Structure 1
């Protein structure tokens, strides 16, 4: 089981790229929490805080493909540095903004989101250059697992900073962390020799370059990821609603943490398994885990047992990180080598859309029927995700049977 990880560590610079790419994204969850507290302190309104955070998220999602395209065509370290400086400047403006002009915050947040450093696009584009199939799988698995840690540590550390320093200084601290981590990531990229993009193939005269979404199977895999994020969002909200119904918000936090711990364990195990991942099968397992929650949530089981729910979440969570890593790898394998970062940018747009669609749908189910209905909605959505991913595999096999096969050779560099 450890062999793929040993192969991963044998690739020069890959371990440092992986670690620093995760640290370069640690600010994501911290920004949302610190900014929410800051806007609530200004306006005493969570609705207005949601408006500002929505603007930041929309900016990030809308510019994902563009930032990925730039990463494919220009120097990745230079792009990281420029975008990190712009992102830092946007957060500093929000920190310095007087409470009396809070209405400017959505515009500033949107512009800040547009300049989010494309660490995700860059590092996953680097993964596609790994020729050894097992090392490539381990890289995606390790990235998904480490990224889970940012969702566990980011909110905790930021909430602590808000409590000690206040929301304004906490947001300033997040800005500094984002800048420093991304500048360090840019240095690692340059040392790894990734300051030049992958050469683009020369097209015949008069031929227009098609959208990367026209790549066989890619749009289907991206749509599957959209539904996957929808399902995660719906179950998250179901757990939060359960904590509210029990009048024990800490229970919701503990259950989500248990879910994340299961995901971490599953990611570490799956990354070391032999053979290539089967993303459709893994998505089906995620759906089964969500369906298992239905009988133990209100109003189906009322009163319910948080211990029983936690056990089901821990077991079901084992499939989460493996599914995310398999989906990411599938998208990377489908994308043309010179447009891998752009494909990952589209993934950001699709997943952002999935979260935006899931929130009102889950809210309606929770209001009408309760937490069990939201979990059922997540399970149903996973049926669509599984079908789309399976269809993506079928389309590629029919159009190019060996399109995603690579020689299992240990590469000399990333």
Structure 2
């Protein structure tokens, strides 16, 4: 299996770019924890903390395609570096804001979110420029797999900072992490010689006056798939937290989430070692089925003696997550015009952010109305809807045409 990953290490600059692209987004999963505790310390209200976190999310979602378009048309290293500087300055200002001026955090986080370093879309747009064929498939699988680690390490870093110095310390740590990651990624891009926008191979100038990417049916379907898929996955994350809280053991949430992420990590590593073109529907329906397996094992349908008995099923449910995200991401990169890939991945980031934002209130309502089992059922329905949509995505062959070689 690992033989498929070895060629990636021989591609000039690719390992360095990959590591720094991950470092530049390490703070994404941990920052909401820091902001929540910071605002809750100021106001005593988790509702107001949610408002501030939501404005940060809105800014990030709005900026996704805009930053991607800028990356497609200018120097990527400068864009990443400038965004990193402004974003970290915004987080520093937030951390140092007096509690009596908590209301100023709303416009501040909105503006700060607009400058989140576009490491996601820039990195994903770079991989097709550096890889091709099976190496490209393996690269996207590796990214989806290691991103799961970010969603474990980032929150752990933020939680440790909260325990040491409160929400202020966590926000400062996430700001410093973002700055180091962004500047390191910008330097890696410059050293690799891929800072300039890609030159389209055909009809480049005419294509620049083009219509919105959202008017391209295949791209719109893929972005909708990301929105629904991540919304369903976010529902399970929230349910794990809510269930641990109901049990009076909040510490269980981190362990159970880690088991779920470990399943995704293993699945991603295996998928990256497979040959042939990934079958997106097969992977998406597997993710929906795995999530559905959790439903009968949760309250009020079942009261397990200990939540750790759910671990084997959580692990199995996670196996298809990274493979599905990797296949969708690779297909999006193939479907986007060569000189608009960063913009396309910016829309993907917006779709992912939207999915998380819409999932939170829906999941909360389902937990209140029918318990954690009903909330997981809601998440499974969202993932199933994403799987159904994947049936509308054309399946390319190894060289971009319809083919018969397939991988799981």
8 Å CA contact 2:233–2:383 kept in 1: the answer is no
Stretch of structure 1 that moved more, 226-235 or 357-366: 357-366
Aligned to 2:369: 368
Structure 2 CA distance for aligned equivalents of residues 131 and 239 of structure 1: 37
Aligned to 1:12: 12
Structure 2 CA distance for aligned equivalents of residues 311 and 184 of structure 1: 38
Structure 1 CA distance for aligned equivalents of residues 206 and 144 of structure 2: 41
8 Å CA contact 2:14–2:130 kept in 1: the answer is no
Stretch of structure 1 that moved more, 236-245 or 99-108: 236-245
Residue 123 of structure 1, CA deviation: 0.6
Aligned to 2:86: 86
Question: Does 2:274 align with 1:273?
Answer: yes
Residue 405 of structure 1, CA deviation: 7.8
Residue 203 of structure 1, CA deviation: 6.3
8 Å CA contact 1:334–1:404 kept in 2: the answer is no
Aligned to 2:118: 118
8 Å CA contact 1:298–1:304 kept in 2: the answer is no
Deviation by residue 1:164-221 (Cα, 9 ceiling, x = unmatched): 2333233222212211111111010011111210124546879941112233411101
Residue 227 of structure 1, CA deviation: 0.6
Structure 1 CA distance for aligned equivalents of residues 80 and 195 of structure 2: 11
CA gap 1:166/1:241 in 2 versus in 1, 3 angstroms: closer
Structure 2 CA distance for aligned equivalents of residues 87 and 155 of structure 1: 19
8 Å CA contact 2:145–2:269 kept in 1: the answer is yes
CA gap 1:402/1:93 in 2 versus in 1, 3 angstroms: same
Structure 1 CA distance for aligned equivalents of residues 37 and 365 of structure 2: 26
Aligned to 1:32: 32
Aligned to 1:339: 340
Stretch of structure 1 that moved more, 205-214 or 306-315: 205-214
Residue 303 of structure 1, CA deviation: 4.5
CA gap 1:306/1:367 in 2 versus in 1, 3 angstroms: same
SS of 1:172's equivalent in the other structure is helix
Q: TM-score, normalised on structure 1?
A: 0.92
Consecutive unaligned residues in structure 1, runs of 5 or more: 407-414
Q: TM-score, normalised on structure 2?
A: 0.93
CA gap 1:405/1:82 in 2 versus in 1, 3 angstroms: farther
Aligned to 2:324: 323
SS of 1:170's equivalent in the other structure is helix
**1:381-396 superposed matches below 5 A:** 381-393=382-394
Question: Does 2:234 align with 1:236?
Answer: no
**1:8-407 superposed matches below 5 A:** 8-200=8-200, 201-202=202-203, 208-303=209-304, 305-393=306-394, 403=400
Residue 16 of structure 1, CA deviation: 0.7
CA gap 1:205/1:197 in 2 versus in 1, 3 angstroms: closer
CA RMSD of aligned residues (A): 2.1
SS of 1:27's equivalent in the other structure is coil
8 Å CA contact 1:51–1:106 kept in 2: the answer is yes
Structure 1 CA distance for aligned equivalents of residues 261 and 353 of structure 2: 20
Stretch of structure 1 that moved more, 21-30 or 163-172: 163-172
Structure 1 CA distance for aligned equivalents of residues 55 and 79 of structure 2: 23
Residue 43 of structure 1, CA deviation: 0.9
SS of 1:393's equivalent in the other structure is coil
Residue 253 of structure 1, CA deviation: 2.3
8 Å CA contact 1:333–1:404 kept in 2: the answer is no
- The aligned length equals 402
8 Å CA contact 1:64–1:348 kept in 2: the answer is yes
Structure 2 CA distance for aligned equivalents of residues 31 and 131 of structure 1: 32
SS of 1:264's equivalent in the other structure is helix
8 Å CA contact 1:265–1:318 kept in 2: the answer is yes
8 Å CA contact 1:296–1:305 kept in 2: the answer is no
CA gap 1:17/1:384 in 2 versus in 1, 3 angstroms: same
Residue 300 of structure 1, CA deviation: 1.3
Consecutive unaligned residues in structure 2, runs of 5 or more: 404-408
